Structure 1
């Protein structure tokens, strides 16, 4: 990671370049980063509040707090999975730490996520919810999620170079992952036997931590969050090791 830090200027430039490309020739530009989750929120509210009739108080805010970190996770991981393959020409011409490419995609999506937090802040105020002292845990939860996403981005991007099916598999896997994460439902609605399985889903724990801090005004469950952080750090170390090993002959597979 020290070498990545040395190339931090390139890292930032690639992240900003991705943001510009994402909204190039778009009339609304960066507004789409906030408009997209709002449009999806309308769909979820209609489906789960008015059709399936959820009885959760302030359901729209409840759903928004789960949707935003999930969208951040899904877009960041999926875009970084194919990042090395998409930048094959750049990799073959110029030397730089290859980790910079997938990490830059995570940073780009992180900047988008920061914009969407503006919507969340206004929603909390609109529902007359008071942020408690526990909101100070928010940066820690976000940092833990970033570590987890960076781990997956390094692992999946280098695997995709060797096995191109990984990208297509992840598209299906993320769809299934969404339904086994408490984005549109609380963990309390899940039967106890299945709830134990969900505790092994890091995104379920992260989303639940966000809700405890921002929706309920409570501290996160430290035993679950601690396990997630420890697991994410271990996964990061393993992903970095595999990435460095396989990136030596990266050009051959591109």
Structure 2
């Protein structure tokens, strides 16, 4: 008997919406070793055949942070916000604390939209849990985000800034974004198979998200009538929460973070269901 092809295996049992998230978690658990290998390859291949290799993951955020600090802090003398405690933190540090989350979002979505197309053998020739590919994309970019975070903390200490005890809550501030981002990565990984120009759409969208969030300016700079619209941006609440616990030494807005977490969980569930349901048709269009 011939072994089942990927398309045959994927069309055999449709995934119901109620079981989509359970199926995703089960596939990640059952294939954690394969997932770890893919993550490792994603991290290494990004800098393959380059002069510094993986050291670029350290050098790039360091140079970015130093440039932002020099241009906005020493040249333009920009300060973030009107609160004296906020004004004491160099604008380059404040800016980078938000930009690293935007970079995580943008690079994850841009990489996820092509991850299935770049691995046709997984789709056509073997039975393979394709849903772990977008998971690997997020995890590999999270590695780079952790490196950027380390650079940020080092520069904060070099500036003589206090590392508040509330920094231990940073995972709580990041987790809802990661959950939502995983759901979005699953969605765009599937859409990228059927809509080949989604990369151009995502490029524009991620740029709009950066300029319409609180990365560049505090929400207090907007009229009160416009501030609620800022909260619709998926970056605003995680960026504000990250700055609260890491830079300002305060608690995040728990109500906003909780609501964001519920929306993020729903996004992950929908993304898992959509990917598991549509992957049955990948082989037909590749």
Q: TM-score, normalised by structure 1?
A: 0.93
Q: Which residue of the other structure, out of 267, 274, 278, is the alignment partner of 1:246?
A: 278
2:185 equivalent to 1:153: yes
- Aligned residue for 1:132? 164
CA offsets 1:114-133 (integer angstroms, 9 cap, x no match): 12222112122122222333
Kindly state the Cα deviation for residue 247 of structure 1 after the two structures are TM-superposed: 0.8
Greater CA radius of gyration, 1 or 2?
2
Bigger share in helix: 1
> SS of the residue aligned with 1:202?
coil
Which one of 2, 5, 26 corresponds to residue 2 of structure 1? 26
**Residue of structure 2 in register with 1:205 after alignment:** 237
CA drift at 1:14: 0.6
Residue of structure 2 equivalent to 1:163: 195
Q: What CA distance in whole angstroms lies between the structure 2 residues aligned with 1:136 and 1:200?
A: 26
- Are 2:78 and 1:54 equivalent residues in the alignment? yes
CA distance in 2: counterparts of 1:172 and 1:243, whole angstroms: 23
Count of residues paired in the alignment: 254
Of 162, 170, 178 in structure 1, the residue corresponding to residue 210 of structure 2 is: 178
The residue number in structure 2 matching 1:191 is 223
- Partner of 2:101 in structure 1? 69
Counterpart residue number, 1:30: 54
How far does residue 221 in structure 1 lie from its aligned partner after superposition?
0.4
Residues 184-224 of structure 1, C-alpha deviations (whole Å, 9 max, x = no match): 22222222222210111121110111000111001110111
| 1:167, distance to aligned residue in structure 2 (A) | 1.7
**Aligned partner (choices 88, 97, 110) of residue 142 of structure 2:** 110
Structure 1: any 5+ residue segments left out of the alignment?
none
Among 23, 45, 54, the alignment partner of 1:21 is 45
- What's the CA shift for 1:17? 0.6
**CA positional deviation for 1:136:** 2.1
Aligned position for 2:246 = 214
Structure 2 unmatched runs, 5+: 1-24, 81-86
After superposition, the CA RMSD in angstroms is 1.8
Q: Work out the CA distance in 1 between the residues paired with 2:201 and 2:184.
A: 14
